[in-house]
C-alpha cells in the first residue's frame, strides 16, 4: 500500500473512519504485516492517549489495544488464571502496544489476586503472610464502609503500601476550608474559593484558589500549594469526577463515594474517597491522586512530618 487513510483513535468529522490505533496492531500482530518497528508500536498507547488529551476527547475504556480496560481482569478464577498463563485470557501481551494489565480489586477478587498486587511491591511475600491477611481484611472492612476499588486501583495500591510499611505521606494537612458566594436574585455570578494550608518537611505553606465549584477550587488550591515542593504536579488535572450516594434513605445524612480520574497527559489513574461529607470524600480522593503520582514517579517523601497527617 502506498496510501493509508484513517484516524488515530477514531476522532474525526466522519463516522466510521478507520481507527489506526486498532488497525495497526491487528495488521502487525494478528496478520503478520510489518507496519511499524517494535519500538514505535510500543508507543501506540502513549501516543493515542496524548492525542486524546490534546483533543480533549476521552478514549472509550474498552477500545481495543489502547483503552484503559483493554487488558483488565476481575474475579478470583480469572486472576489466578492470568497469573499462571496470561495467554489463556489475553490475545496479546499488552506491553507490545504500550498498555498494561489491570487487575480489579473487589470482594470477589480472592486472596490470590490480592497477593499478586502485593507482590508488585514485596515480591517475597507469601499467601500465608500476616500482612497479606491484614490487607485482605482491610479490603473487606473498607468495602463494607462504602469503598469500591474496582475503578480506583490507585487508592488500593496506597492501602497496600501502608500495610507494608513503605508508605510515608508527602505532606501534612494543617487545615482546609471552602466557601461560596451566591449573589441574591441573580445579581452576579456565583464564586467558590478554597484555602489549603499544609506542611512539607517542616515548612508551612498556604494557598488560595477559585474554581467552578468547591471541589474544583480545592483541587486547584491543593496543587497550587504543593507545586512549590513537587513541580511535576503542574502537569496533572482531573479528567473525570463521579459521586454516588451510598444510602439514599438517610437523605441529607447519606454517605457518598467520590471517584476521581486524573491524568498528566501520558498516564491516567483513579482514586476514591468515602464520607458523609462530599467535600471530605473529595479531599480524600484528591490526596490519594497526588500521592499516587508522586509515588509512581519515584519521588521520595520527606523523612519527618509533624502534626496531623493528610
Tens-digit pLDDT profile for residues 22-32: 999 999 999 99
CA distance 63 to 151: 17
pLDDT confidence of residue 132: 87
Q: b/e for 139-171, b at 16 or more Cβ within 10 A? A: beebbeebbbbbbbbbbbbbbbbebeeebbebb
Provide the pLDDT for residue 76.
62
Mean pLDDT of 176-205: 86
Q: Where are the domains of the chain?
A: 72-164, 172-296
Task: Give the pLDDT confidence score for residue 73 in this predicted structure.
Answer: 80
pLDDT tens per residue across span 126-141: 888 888 888 888 888 8
Residue 252 has pLDDT above 80, yes or no: no
Q: Note the pLDDT tens digit of each residue in 285-294.
A: 999 999 999 9
172-296 belongs to CATH 3.40.50.620:
no
What is the sign, positive or negative, of the torsion defined by CA atoms of 101, 102, 107, 111? positive
What's the whole-number average pLDDT of the chain?
Answer: 86
Q: Is the pLDDT of residue 198 over 50?
A: yes
Q: How confident is the model at residue 307 (pLDDT cuts 50, 70, 90)?
A: very low
Least confident residue range of 113-117, 119-123, 205-209, 240-244 = 113-117
Q: Which residue has the cell 513503605?
A: 166
Residue pair 192/212 in contact by the 8 Å Cβ criterion: yes
pLDDT band at 305 (very low <50, low <70, confident <90, very high): very low
* pLDDT given at position 5: 80
pLDDT digits (tens, 9 = 90+) for 76-92: 666 677 777 888 889 99
Give the closest residue to 20 by CA, choosing from 40, 43, 33, 4: 4
By percentage, how much of the chain surpasses pLDDT 70?
89
Give the span between the Cα atoms of 23 and 230, in whole angstroms. Answer: 39
Q: Please state the φ and ψ torsions of residue 142, each to the nearest 5 degrees.
A: -65, -35
Helix, strand, or coil here: 176?
strand
- Report d(CA 298, CA 303) in Å as an integer: 15
pLDDT recorded at residue 250:
65
Average pLDDT over residues 176-197: 83
What pLDDT score was predicted for residue 120?
A: 80
Among 109-113, 219-223, 275-279, the least confident range: 109-113
CB atoms within 10 A of CB 60: 13
Q: What's the angle, vertex CA 238, arms to CA 258 and CA 160, rounded to 5?
A: 60
pLDDT > 60? residue 309: no
Amino acid at each position: 500500500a502506498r496510501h493509508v487513510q484513517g484516524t488515530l483513535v477514531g476522532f474525526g468529522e466522519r463516522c466510521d473512519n478507520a481507527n489506526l490505533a486498532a488497525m495497526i496492531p491487528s495488521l502487525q500482530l494478528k496478520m503478520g504485516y510489518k507496519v511499524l518497528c517494535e519500538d514505535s508500536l510500543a508507543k501506540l498507547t502513549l501516543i493515542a492517549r496524548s492525542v486524546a488529551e490534546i483533543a480533549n476527547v476521552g478514549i472509550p475504556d474498552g477500545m481495543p489495544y489502547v483503552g484503559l480496560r483493554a487488558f483488565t481482569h476481575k474475579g478470583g478464577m480469572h486472576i489466578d488464571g492470568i497469573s499462571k498463563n496470561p495467554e489463556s485470557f489475553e490475545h496479546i501481551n499488552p506491553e507490545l502496544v504500550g498498555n498494561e494489565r489491570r487487575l480489579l480489586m473487589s470482594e470477589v477478587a480472592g486472596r490470590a489476586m490480592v497477593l499478586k498486587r502485593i507482590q508488585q511491591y514485596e515480591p517475597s511475600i507469601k499467601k500465608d503472610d500476616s500482612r497479606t491477611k491484614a490487607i485482605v481484611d482491610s479490603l473487606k472492612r473498607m468495602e463494607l464502609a462504602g469503598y469500591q476499588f474496582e475503578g480506583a486501583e490507585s487508592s488500593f495500591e496506597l492501602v497496600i503500601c501502608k500495610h507494608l510499611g513503605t508508605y510515608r505521606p508527602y505532606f501534612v494537612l494543617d487545615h482546609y476550608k471552602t466557601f461560596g458566594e451566591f449573589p441574591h436574585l441573580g445579581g452576579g455570578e456565583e464564586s467558590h474559593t478554597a484555602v489549603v494550608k499544609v506542611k512539607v518537611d517542616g515548612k508551612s505553606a498556604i494557598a488560595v484558589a477559585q474554581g467552578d465549584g468547591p471541589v474544583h477550587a480545592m483541587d486547584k488550591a491543593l496543587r497550587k500549594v504543593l507545586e512549590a515542593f513537587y513541580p511535576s504536579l503542574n502537569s496533572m488535572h482531573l479528567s473525570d469526577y463521579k459521586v454516588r450516594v451510598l444510602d439514599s434513605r438517610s437523605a441529607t445524612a447519606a454517605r457518598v463515594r467520590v471517584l476521581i480520574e486524573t491524568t498528566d497527559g501520558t498516564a491516567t489513574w483513579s482514586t476514591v474517597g468515602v464520607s458523609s461529607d462530599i467535600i471530605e470524600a473529595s479531599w480524600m480522593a484528591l490526596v490519594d491522586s497526588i500521592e499516587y503520582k508522586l509515588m509512581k514517579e519515584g519521588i521520595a517523601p520527606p523523612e519527618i512530618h509533624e502534626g496531623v497527617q493528610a
